[in-house]
Amino acid sequence: MELTEKQQDVLAAGGHLLVTGGPGSGKTTISIHKAAGIAARDLRPGQQVLFLSFARASVSRVVEAIEYEQQIPRQLKSRIEVETYHSLFWRLLKTHGYLVGLPRRLTILTPPSEAIALSAIRLGFGADSALSDAERAAKHAAENTERRRLAEQEGRVCFDLFATYVGDLFTGSERLRRLFATMYPVVILDEFQDTNAAQWRIVEAIGQFSRLIALADPEQRIFDFIGADPERLNHFREKFAPVEVDFGTTNHRSAGTEIGLFGNDILKGTFQKSSYVGIDCQVFEPYPDAAMSKLVTTTYAARGRLVAGGKADWSLAVLVPTRKMTRLVSDSFRSPPAGMAPIVHTAVVEMDAAILGAEIVAHLLQTPRDSKHFGHLIELLCSYYRGKGGEKPTNGALKQADDLAKAHEKWNAALASGKAPNSKSVIKAVSTVYEAARAAVLTGDPDKDWRTMRAVLEGGPCPRLREVGSEVRNIRILERGSQLRQSLTQDWRDNGAYLNALEIVRQAFVQDHFATGIKPETGVVIMNMHKAKGKQFDEVIIFEGWPVIRNRKIIANPHRIVRDNDRKQIAEDVRQNFRVSVTRGRQRTTILTPKADPCVLLLGNS
| Contact footprint for ligand ATP (CB under 6 A) | 1-4, 7, 21, 23-29, 217, 252-253, 534
- Residue 27 marked as a ligand binder: yes
Q: CB 579 → ligand ATP: shortest distance, Å?
A: 11
Least distance (Å) from ligand ATP to the CB of residue 534?
A: 6
| Cα–Cα distance, 126 to 597 (Å, whole number) | 35
418 known ligand binder: no
Least distance to ligand ATP from the beta carbon of 222, Å?
Answer: 12
Helix or strand (DSSP H, E) at 540: strand 537-543
Pick 32 or 465: Cβ nearer ligand ATP: 32
Contacts of 301 (CB under 8 A, 6+ apart): none
Residue with Cβ nearer ligand ATP (3 or 442) = 3
* 38 or 600: CB nearest ligand ATP: 38
In the complex with ligand ATP, which residue's Cβ is closer, 4 or 425?
Answer: 4
CB of 134 to ligand ATP, least distance (A): 39
Continuous H helices in 472-594: 483-495, 501-514, 572-582
- Shortest Å, Cβ 511 to ligand ATP: 26
CA distances from residue 14 to 11, 71, 247, 434, 511 in whole angstroms, order as listed? 8, 22, 18, 65, 37
Min separation Cβ 282 and ligand ATP, Å: 25
Is residue 21 marked as binding? yes
Name the minimum Å distance from CB 197 to ligand ATP: 23
Q: What minimum distance in Å lies between the beta carbon of 275 and ligand ATP?
A: 23
Contacts of 162 (CB under 8 A, 6+ apart): 85, 86, 89, 90, 93
Listing DSSP states for 415-433 in one string gives HHTTPPPPTTSHHHHHHHH
Closer to ligand ATP at the Cβ: 3 or 131? 3
Cα dihedral across residues 439, 442, 446, 447: positive or negative = negative
Q: Tell me, what DSSP letter sits at residue 485? A: H
Nearer to ligand ATP, 122 or 253 (CB): 253
58 or 593: CB nearest ligand ATP: 58
Give the torsion sign (CA, 64, 69, 74, 75): negative
Q: Which is nearer to ligand ATP, 24 or 185 (CB)?
A: 24
Packed helices 111-125 and 352-365: angle between N→C axes, nearest 10 degrees: 120
Comparing C-alpha atoms, which of 533, 579, 574 is closest to residue 249? Answer: 579
- Which residue lies nearer to ligand ATP by CB, 220 or 474? 220
Residue 463 is assigned to a ligand binding site: no
Kindly state the helix (H) or strand (E) to which residue 346 belongs, with its residue range. Answer: strand 346-347
Q: Binding site annotation covers 248?
A: no
Q: Is 28 annotated as a binding residue?
A: yes
Q: Is 288 annotated as a binding residue?
A: no
SS3 179: helix
In the complex, what is the shortest distance from the CB of residue 252 to ligand ATP, in angstroms, rounded to a whole number? 3
Closest approach, Cβ 58 to ligand ATP, in A, equals 8
Is 383 marked within a binding site? no
Alpha helices in 243-368 (DSSP H): 259-268, 288-309, 323-334, 352-365
Q: Which one, 253 or 408, has the nearer CB to ligand ATP?
A: 253
Does residue 517 sit in helix, strand or coil? coil
Sign of the CA dihedral with 298 first, then 304, 307, and 309 last: negative
The count of other CB atoms within 10 Å of the CB of residue 331 is 12
Residue 532: which of 253, 277, 200 has the closest Cα?
253
Please report, for the chain, how many H helices and E strands are present, in that order. 23, 16
Q: Are 263 and 37 in contact (CB under 8 A)?
A: no
Q: Are 62 and 53 in contact (CB under 8 A)?
A: yes
Distance of alpha carbon 492 from alpha carbon 509, whole angstroms = 19
Cα 30 to Cα 27: distance, rounded to the nearest angstrom: 5
Binding site residues for ATP, as ranges? 21-28
